[in-house]
Amino acid sequence: MKLLGPSRSPYAFKVMVMIAEKGIACALEDAAPSSPEVAAANPLAKVPTLIRDDGKTLYDSSTIVEYLDGLAPTPKLIPDDFEERIEVKRWEALGNGIMDAAVAISHENREPEATRKGPDFYAKQQKKIDAGLATMEKDLGDGKFCHGDNFTLADIACGCALVCVDIRVSEMDWRKSFPALSRHAAQMAERDSFDIT
């Protein structure tokens, strides 16, 4: 299998963490959405895109991680139980939303100053990050893991969102306001899957 996506993409990072946790053989090809290979594999020309061994393609990080979890029986990172599965996917949606806002700020910062959208745009994106982190902080509480007693996709999504904020909104000192998330980020940094990718 081959994963297409920029090495700096937080969504490709999420998929690579899942690949490492599952012990699945998959190469990462550093490819921009504008590349011919991405356009040929994904009608939306978005990354990450997974090219399976049978030649079929999957796109959107949420779909890809669900596929990967089904490829290898252990460790199970998305629960089978409906309510638990929905809770883990809710954490993933929170993580994706935080990453969306952080990426939007990062992209806007690279625009020429004359064409930037202005302070209202930044405030709107920052509000999403703040609200998302506050919800994660409250829901994590004193727990070791984001959901239940085991490492799941919820932890991957949360950890990747925090890494994304550190990289894309580096001026934000979120650790003082969110001590539970700070603890969680430190735990994720100790995992080989986060270090390898």
Q: Could you read off the pLDDT of 132-178 as tens digits, one per residue?
A: 999 999 999 999 999 999 999 999 999 999 999 999 999 999 999 99
Helices (H), the chain: 10-22, 36-41, 61-71, 82-109, 119-140, 153-168, 174-177, 179-189, 192-196
| Structural domain harbouring 34 | 2-71
Same-domain status, 179 and 88? yes
pLDDT at 58: 98
Domain count, the chain: 2
Instruction: Give the pLDDT band of residue 197 (cuts 50, 70, 90).
Output: low
- C-beta separation of 59 from 50 below 8 A: yes
Compute the mean pLDDT over every residue in the chain, rounded to the nearest whole number.
96
Half-sphere exposure (Cβ direction) of 152: Cα atoms closer than 13 Å: 21
Q: Which residue, 37, 71, 105, sits at the end of a domain?
A: 71
Same-domain status, 54 and 33? yes
Same-domain status, 14 and 40? yes
Percent of the chain with pLDDT over 90: 94
CATH number, residue 113: 1.20.1050.10
